[in-house]
Chain A
Amino acid sequence: MPPLRATQPGIHFQTDTLHACPVVHIVDDDRSSRLATARLLRAAGHTVRTYGSATEFLSASPSRTPGCVVLDLQLPGANGLEVQQALAQADDPLPVIFLSGRGDVPQSVQAMKAGAVDFLTKADGADLLLNAVSQALARDAADRRKREHRTELRARYERLSAREREVFAHLISGQLNKQVGFDLGISLQTTKIHRHRVFEKMQADSVVQLARMAVDLGVDPVGKIR
C-alpha cells in the first residue's frame, strides 16, 4: 500500500519509473462510484484521471505515459473486456484492474487470461484496491523498462556492420576466435578486430552477456564448436 499522503495533486508518488508521475485512470459510467474511487486513490497519494465512458478513455491515448487502469466491467456501449483488448494494441499497454458489480467467474477468467492484474468487486475494501493499484503500477514501470532496454539493444545491434553481425552470431555459439575466423574465411587478426568492435558497440563485457542480448534480440547462434 502506498504511503498515506494529503490530497495535493502532482507532488506525491515516488516510483522508480524513468518518466513522469504515473497516472491511475478510472473508467466508470456511474458518476458517484467514479468520484468515490478517485477520492480514495487520490487520498492514498496517486495522481488520478477519470472517464465516464470507454470512448472518452480510449481517445485520450492513455498508454503514452506510465500508469494503470481501474476499469468498470459493465460499461454502456463497450464491455470492459473489449476496452482491455483495445488497450493491448498500444506499444505500451497499461495494466488493467477490473471492477465488477458482481464476481462474474467466466468473465474474470477471460480478463485474467488477457493479462489483467486483478479482478475486484465494488464491495471489496480499500486495501485490496490499493494493493492492486500498487502492483499494477510496478508492473507497468517494469514493462516499460524492459521495452526500453530492448529498444536500446536493437539500436546497438543496428550499428553493427554485416561482418560484425556474422562474428556476433558465431561468438554466441561458443566458438573461439580461431573457429570464427575459419568459418568466415578471415584471418585470426581480422576476427579479433571484429570481435573487439562487436563488444564495444554492443557494450558487452563477456560472451555470456552477448548471448543474453542475443536472446532478447532474437538473434540465433551460427556455427558449431569443434
Chain B
Amino acid sequence: MGRHHQSNDREVDSEAALGHLVTSIAHELQQPLGAILRNADAAALILGSQAPNLSELRSIVEDIREDNQRAATIIRNLKARVESPRMERAASPIAHRTKSP
C-alpha cells in the first residue's frame, strides 16, 4: 500500500515537473519564433516597397537563420535534459518494470 502511494506521488511530481518544463521551454522558444515571424513580416513589407532595401533584407535573412539555430539549440538542450533523468530512472524497479515488455 505504502508502495502504491509512493508511486502515485512520484507520478504527480513528474507530471508537475513536466508541466513546468513545457512552460519554460515554450517561453524560451517564443523569443526566436516571435523574432522570425516579425522579421518575415518586415521582409514582406520591404519587398512591397518601391525600392526594397537589399542590405536590410540580407540582414533579415541572416537573423532568421540565427534565430532558427537558437530555437534548434533550445530543443537540443531539452532533449538532453529529458534523456538524462530517464537513464537514472531506469535503475529504479518501477521504471524497469514499465520498460520491459
Q: Which residues of B contact A32 (CB under 8 A)?
A: 31-32, 35, 63, 66-67, 70
| Inter-chain contact B63/A6, CB cutoff 8 Å | no
Within 8 Å CB of B46, what residues of A?
6-7, 43
Q: Is the CB of A4 within 8 A of B38?
A: no
Q: Is B85 an interface residue (CB 8 A)?
A: no
Chain B's closest residue to A41 (CB) is: B42
Tell whether, in the assembled complex, residue A101 and residue B45 are in contact, meaning their CB atoms are under 8 Å apart: no
- Docked Cα-Cα span, A102 to B22, in Å, equals 13
Q: Does B5 contact A (CB under 8 A)?
A: no
Interface string of A118-142 (1 = CB under 8 A from B): 0001110110000000000000000
How far is it, in angstroms, between the C-alpha of A197 and the C-alpha of B46 when the chains are bound? 58
Q: Chain A residues with Cβ under 8 A from B48's Cβ?
A: 4
CA distance A35 to B38 in the complex (A): 9
Query: Do the beta carbons of A102 and B45 come within 8 Å of each other?
Result: no
| B: number of interface residues (CB 8 Å) | 29
A36 to B68, CA, bound (A): 14
Contact of B13 with A by CB under 8 A: no
In the bound complex, what is the Cα–Cα distance between A147 and B32 (angstroms)? Answer: 41
Instruction: Please tell me if A83 contacts chain B, counting CB pairs below 8 Å.
Output: no
Q: A30-48 toward B: CB 8 Å interface, digit per residue (1/0)?
A: 1011011101101110000
A to B CB contacts below 8 Å, 9 in the list: A32-B31, A33-B38, A36-B39, A39-B60, A40-B39, A43-B45, A43-B46, A121-B30, A126-B42
- Nearest 10 pairs of A and B residues by beta carbon: A122-B34, A126-B41, A36-B38, A43-B45, A39-B42, A40-B42, A36-B35, A6-B49, A101-B30, A32-B35
B positions within 8 Å CB-CB of A: 26-27, 30-39, 41-42, 44-46, 48-53, 56, 60, 63, 66-67, 70
